[in-house]
Every structure is written in C-alpha cells, then in structure tokens.
Structure 1
Amino acid sequence: METEIPALLKAREAIEPERFTFHSSRMRMKHVTKEELAKMDADSDRCALELSDAKVDVMGYACLVAIMSMGKGYHCVSGPRLAQVAADNDAPAPVVTSAGALIEGIRALGAKRIALVAPYMKPLTEMVVEYIRNEGIEVSDYIALEIQDNLAVAAHDPMNLPEIVKRLKTDDVDAVVLSACVQMPSLSAVSMAEAITGKPVLTAAIATTWQMLKALNLDTRVPGGGTLLSGAY
C-alpha cells in the first residue's frame, strides 16, 4: 500500500494535472495467519478514525486477505462501517477495500474466469479463492507461494513473478491476478506477465488504485498500470 499505490499515483501525475498526498495508519500484523488477521481487522476502525482527522478524500483498506478471512462478502460490510467512522468524525470519505477493488476490477475487465498468484500459505490462499468464487468469478488455477512472514512477503522479488506465471494454466482464463495481495510487490512485472500470457493482468494494488480514482471521479489512465489502468475502464 505504501509503495506501489503511491508509485502509480506518481506515474499518473506525469500525464494528468491532479497531485496527491498519501497518509497511512497501520494495523499491526507480523505473521499472515487467520488469528493475526482477525486482530488486525479489529483495529481498522481506529485507523479510519485517525485518517479522518486529516480529512482525506478517499481511504483504502490495504489488506486483501484480512478482509477475505473474515467471511465471504465481508468487503460489503467493512467498507460502509469504516466510512461511517469517518462520517461520525465530520470527515466523510469513500472507503475502498483492496478485496472489493479486486473483485470489481475483475468484473470491469469482463473476466469470468481467472488464474491468480498469492503469497499466502495454502489454506489462506484457498480461502481467497473461495471468496472470489463466491462473487461469481471462477478461479481455474492458482499458485500459493506459502510465505508466512509479512516482511518476507514485502521482500519477495517481483522479478520472480514472470517465471511463476509460466506455471499457471492461463489458456482458458480471461485475466490473471499477478498478486492477490497489496503487500507483495508486483508492479514492475505486470507488463511482462501480460506479454507472457497474452491476457489482461491486474494486481490488488492496481485494482485498489483504480477504484480510488473512480471514487474521486478521476480519469483512470496510469502509465505502467496494466490493462485495468489503461483508461478504458
């Protein structure tokens, strides 16, 4: 959240007049386990309240798996609740969750069937897959990198992703999710993955940026942001 989304917004500044500031409030989490994710999500109201003091124009809940581990469809609950926290502080702002943004980004591309890469342990990855399937999107293939330490997720080399994508079955999919996690870097590999697969490639960070721009009623063209941020959606 604190690296790739600002990078995308900075890239947009090269072609559009709007300028952005970036503010963050952290929910604690060291290991990507269901128990720590539940504790993390419980802290999200505090973060929304702190950010609302800055009267930001849009908020993004970065952790996709924290939302998806709380139960199917939870992004539809979390977003409005956090928006209410901001509104109650006299600082109303739309709230985007990376989980909801990924779902909406896939739908915007018209994709019915996807393949994905996730850094999580296999049980959490399967939970993510079932969450997406519950939204009416088929996940035909997926790879779990099984990285449990959160800092190790952030340190994963995005240049490993093109070779990882080659292991995915992508012939019958409409789109590829290169990183179903805002924490795992992937932006520098998106264009390579699109060239390898011949399919639209999106990530949790790209989808979150896209939905933030939509919430701000701004043009969604961002250089280097893949198909979803081509400006066509």
Structure 2
Amino acid sequence: METEIPALIRLRETIRPERFTFHSSRMRMKTVSKDELSAMDGQSDRCALELSDAALDVLGYACLVATMSMGPGYHRVSEKRLHERTVENGHPAPVITSAGALIDGLKVLGAKKIVVVAPYMRPLTELVVDYITREGIEVIDYVALEIPDNLDVGRHDCQRLPEIIKGLRYQEADAVVVSACVQMPSLPVISAVEALTGKPALSAAVATTYAMLKALRLEAIAPGGGALLSGTY
C-alpha cells in the first residue's frame, strides 16, 4: 500500500496534470496467520476514523488476505462499514479494499479464468482461491509461496515472479495475478510478465490503484501498470 500504489500514482503524474498526497494509518500484524489477520481487521475502523480526520478523497484498505479470510463477500461489508466511519466523522469518503479491487479489476478485464501467485501459507492461499471462485472467477492454477513473516513478504524478490509464473497453466488463463497481496512487490515485472505470457497481468496494488482512480473520477492510467492501467479501461 505504501510503496507500489504511490509509485503508480507518481508515474501517472508524469503524464497527467493531477497531483496527489498520501496518508496512512497502520493496523498491527507481524505473522500472516488467520488469527492475526482477524485481529488486524478489527483495527480497520480506528484507521478509517483517523484518516478521515484529514478529509481525504478516497481511502484504500489493504490487506487483501485479511479481508478474504473473513468470509465470502466480506469486502462489501468492510467497505460499507468503513465508509460509515468517515461519514460519522464528518468527512465522507469512498473506501476501496484491495480484495474488492482485485475482483472488480479482473471483471473489468473480462477474465473468467486466471492463475494466481500468493505469498501466503497454503491454507490462507486456499481461502483466497475460494473467495475469488465464489465471485465467479475460476482459478485454474495457483502457487502459495508460504512466507509466514509479513516483513519477508515485503522483501520477496519480484524478479523471481516470471520464473514462478512459467510453472503455472497461464496458457489457459485470461489473466495472470502476479501478486495477490499488496505487500508482496511485483510492479517492476508487470510488463515483463505480460510479454512472457501474452496475457494481461495485474496485482492487488495495480487493481487498488485502478479502483481508487475510478472512485476519484479520474482517468485510470499509469505507465508500467499493465493492461488494467493502460488507459484502455
């Protein structure tokens, strides 16, 4: 959230006139486990309230797996509740979850079948796969990198991702989810993965950026953001 989304917006600023500021409030989490994710999600109301003090135009909530691990369709519940916190604070703003943004981004691309790379342990990755499937998108192949420490997720070498994706059945997919996690970096290889696979490639960060720009009623475009941020959609 605090690295690749600002990076995409800064890239957009090189080709469009709008300028942006970024503000963050953090939820505590060290180990990517279901219990810690649930506890972390419980802090989201506090964060939405704190951020709305700054009268922001849009709020983005990432962690994708924290939302998806709370049960099918939870991103809609979360977005509605957190928006209500901003209303109560006198500064109403739309709230985008990375979970909802990824689902919506895949649907914008018209993707019916996808392959997914996720940093999570296998049981959490299976929750993510099930969540996406219940939203009407078939996950035909996936890989769980099984990185338990949240800091290590952020340190994962994104240059490994194209080789990892080569091992998936991407040929049968409509799109490739290079990173189903805003924490795991992938932005530097989005274009390379599209060239390798011949498919649209997106990440949770790319999808969240797209959704936030749409919420701001701005052109959803950013260099290096792949097909979804190419300006076509």
TM-score bracket for this pair, using the shorter chain length:
over 0.9
- Structure-1 residue corresponding to 2:23: 23
| 1:152 to 2:152 alignment | yes
**How do 1:61-210 and structure 2 match up within 5 A?**
61-210=61-210
SS in 1 for 2:127: helix
TM-score calculated relative to the size of structure 2: 1.00
For residues 136 and 199 of structure 2, the distance between their equivalents in structure 1, rounded to whole angstroms, comes to 20
- Structure-2 residue corresponding to 1:34: 34
CA positional deviation for 1:83: 0.3
CA positional deviation for 1:123: 0.4
Name the amino acid aligned to 1:100. G
User: Tell me, which stretches of 5 or more residues in structure 1 are unaligned?
Assistant: none
Give every structure 1 segment of 4 or more consecutive aligned residues whose post-TM-superposition deviation is greater than 6 Å. none
- What is the aligned length? 233
- Name the Cα RMSD after superposition: 0.4
1:151-182, Cα deviation, whole Å (9 max, x unpaired): 00000011111111111111111000000000
For residues 171 and 2 of structure 2, the distance between their equivalents in structure 1, rounded to whole angstroms, comes to 33
TM-score calculated relative to the size of structure 1: 1.00
For residues 146 and 126 of structure 1, the distance between their equivalents in structure 2, rounded to whole angstroms, comes to 12
SS in 2 for 1:202: strand
1:195-231, Cα deviation, whole Å (9 max, x unpaired): 1111000000000000000000000111000000011
CA positional deviation for 1:77: 0.2
CA positional deviation for 1:95: 0.3
Identity %: 67
CA positional deviation for 1:141: 0.1
| 1:222 to 2:222 alignment | yes
For residues 58 and 163 of structure 1, the distance between their equivalents in structure 2, rounded to whole angstroms, comes to 35
SS in 2 for 1:96: strand
Name the amino acid aligned to 1:141. D
